[in-house]
Structures are given as structure tokens and as C-alpha cells.
Structure 1
Amino acid sequence: MKPPPSHLPFDATFRKTFRDLVLWRRDVRRFRTDPVDEKLLDDLIELATHAPSVGLSQPWRFVKVKSPERRRAVWESFAKANEKALGGYEGEQRANYVSLKLAGLKEAPIHLAVFSDESTDTGRGLGRQTMPETLRYSVVAAVQTMWLGARAEGLGMGWVSILDPAEVTRALDVPEGWRLVAYLDLGWPAEEHIDPELERHHWEERHYTGDLVFTR
């Protein structure tokens, strides 16, 4: 069955290009240090704000982390959390973990923290009475939207999760009620790979659709 006609140019070429964009969206950890135009970052943030949000709550809050002292605090949180995580592995897996590059915090010219404002009245609570976590899901949708937009511009982005959210939140001195969802580093990639780094370095294999879809 053919899809209904659309006045938008979402033709076969666009659909293939969009699939390529999704496949080439990578978690980048290896950055060049040359700067990124501030307007490009602002444009990506603006694009991210068009992501879906529960009840149109728009709970995302973006913090550009430019202070060297605050960046250093984030790096120290990462270093401590990384060392602690290493203690959970042994033998060959431990050696593999040590060899992985798990963050580009020192090289990336842009650090961006993305919070969920858990105290927002926007949206009047619609859709989150029974699932309040949908506020944070909405922020994740904004991050993914930004990720695809960054990739379309040739910009790399990494999501750093090996850190203590409470420490980072304190270091960034944000309002009470904000909860850290993502700490992102952005910059021009030093390398280009279509396969995930963790797959390329034999940490994990990708699961395919047939293994993940169930019928009830």
C-alpha cells in the first residue's frame, strides 16, 4: 500500500539520507580541539527544543559549561567514577575497559549539561500523573534530536554518563529541582566511523531487530 501523498519533500532520496544520518550518528569521544561557532551550538539547541515533550512541558534546561573550574570539577567526577567502575571488572575485561576512551572531556571545545526541570508547571502535569519519569524521557528526546542535528552538520557529540550527577549538579550551581539527564561534549570529530566504538573495540556486539521484537 502506498503512503498518502504529502506536500513535504520526504521522498525516497530523503528517506535513505535520513537512514544514513541515523546510522552515522555516533557517540564521539575523539575530538579535534578547534573551536565551534557559537551560533551553530545555539541553532542545535533551538532544534532540540522542537522535540516532543509530555504535556508540552518542555522541561529541558541547557547549561553551557565554559568555566575552566567547573569543567575541571566535571572531569574530576568522571575520573573518580571511572576508577570506581574499573574495580567492577577483572582479567581480560578489565584490560579492555582500561583501553577504551570513554570521554572526550579534555579535547572537546563544547561542554553542555542538559537538565530536566522537575518543578516546572508548564504543561500543567498533563500526561505525567502516572509516569512522572516522562519529564526526563522528554529531555532524552531533545538530546537525540540535537545529536542527529549535530551529525548532519558534521559535528560530533558524546554523552558522558560515567560521573556523579549530584557532584556535577553542585558544580554547575543550578536551581533546586533540576535533575541532570545528560552531560554532553561536542566538537569536530578527529575520526569518522560508522560502527560504534564499543563494537569496534570488542566490548559488545550489536543486537539486531529480530532479537528485540516480540509478539504477545
Structure 2
Amino acid sequence: MEFDEVLRRRRMIRTYDPDRPVPPELVDKLIKHALRAPSAGFSQGWGFLVLQEQADRDLYWSVTAPADEPAAGSWLDRMRTAPLIIVALSNKSVYLDRYAQADKGWTDRDESRWPVPYWDIDTGFAALLIHLTAVNEELASLFFGVPAERVGPFREAFGVPEEFVPVGALTVGYPAADKRSPSLRRGHRPVDEVVHHGRWAGSLG
């Protein structure tokens, strides 16, 4: 698929065909493409938890979903049909260690040197590559967060080390009939509201 077409088709899809698993070769491709993401200092401070078995996916939803079960047909209920979940996690310590090396020279590992948390940003880049690869392979995908109050139970359930922080998860599968998200009615913001040449102009309103 041409890249322009991938971007044209890209959207978050919440409903999947539960009877069509993602072939192993495509799962491998999704992860391999994630590893092509850029990272500060080529630190590559990320990790990916791949959940394909039904028991693993059921466990994921049981420890991360809201306590109140959603009504049948809700967005969360539909997401549970995804045959693949990939959780993208960042590891800040890898970046602090990398930039304390001789070619970088920040020997004190001072986190305040970082203007923004690049470990999370880079992991987000990797997640986007998974998402775009899914589109290119005519799969459906959705990126969403792990609720803050559920991170602890998620770690415990899957044995995730403390230094890894779940930046988000992706459901992946073959698409089924889906409801159009109400958010899409907002449309894209006008270019002149978000792009500024030479000097910031206007207001976000």
C-alpha cells in the first residue's frame, strides 16, 4: 500500500473479527517495524508485551478494565474481540544510563536535564509504527491507555518489572462492522490554527 493511502485509511478501530487471528508472520512484522522507531541516543528504552492467547487477553481485560462491566456493544466490550494486544512500555533508566556514557557525558543521570520524557515519546513512536503497519496489512488497530489506577494490578498480573511503564496498548485484528466514533464529527482542525510559519500567530481559542 502506498504511504499516502496508509495515512488516508488510518483511524482507530474498536471492533474486530474474533474468528480471525493475526497470522504469526504479521505479529512478527508489527514488532520488527516497532523496533525501527527513532530513539534519543539510540537508547531503545522500550519493551513490548504481546498477548495472543485467549487466557492472556482475558487476564489483561480483567486487571485493566473498569470495575463496572460495560453494557453489551460498548466500545470496551467491542475491543475485547481483538485477537491481539500489544502493550508498549518505556524504560526511563535505559535513557539515563545511556546519557551517562562517555559519548554523552551526563554522568550524574540527572533527569532534570531532559526537557520532556523522551522515553515515553520514543515508545509512542514505536507504537505508531505498529499502528501504521497494521493499516498497511489491512488490519484494524486502536491505541489506548492503561488507567493509572490499574497499572499496579497490570504489573503484578504479567510480572512487569517496576522500571517499565505502560505508555499504552494496541488492540489489533481484522476489522468487523464498527460504529463511527462521535469524536470524528469534530473533523480536523484547520491548518492555519495549528501550523505557524516564522512566528506563532492567533489563538487556540
TM-score, length of structure 2 as denominator length: 0.75
1:68 Cα offset (Å): 4.4
Shift in alpha-carbon separation, 1:100–1:119, aligned structure 2, 3 A = same
Contact 2:64–2:151 (CA under 8 A) maintained in structure 1? no
Residue 94 (structure 2) aligns with? 120
Instruction: Give me the whole-angstrom Cα distance separating, in 1, the residues matched to 2:178 and 2:3.
Output: 18
Contact 1:29–1:103 (CA under 8 A) maintained in structure 2? no
State whether structure 2 residue 83 is matched by structure 1 residue 109. yes
1:181 Cα offset (Å): 0.8
1:130 Cα offset (Å): 2.0
Residue 203 (structure 2) aligns with? none
Q: How many pairs were matched up?
A: 185
Determine helix, strand or coil for the equivalent of 2:66: helix
Residue 135 (structure 1) aligns with? 119
Residue 165 (structure 2) aligns with? 179
Q: Which runs of 5+ in 2 are unaligned?
A: 201-205
Q: Which amino acid aligns with 1:208?
A: P
1:160 Cα offset (Å): 2.7
Instruction: Give me the whole-angstrom Cα distance separating, in 2, the residues matched to 1:145 and 1:51.
Output: 7
Instruction: Give me the whole-angstrom Cα distance separating, in 1, the residues matched to 2:191 and 2:23.
Output: 38
1:67 Cα offset (Å): 5.1
Tell me how large the CA RMSD over aligned residues is: 3.2
Shift in alpha-carbon separation, 1:150–1:131, aligned structure 2, 3 A = same
1:118 Cα offset (Å): 2.2
Moved >6 Å (runs of 4+): none
TM-score, length of structure 1 as denominator length: 0.72
Instruction: Give me the whole-angstrom Cα distance separating, in 2, the residues matched to 1:31 and 1:50.
Output: 27
Residue 41 (structure 1) aligns with? 27
Residue 49 (structure 2) aligns with? 63
Identity %: 24
Determine helix, strand or coil for the equivalent of 1:108: coil
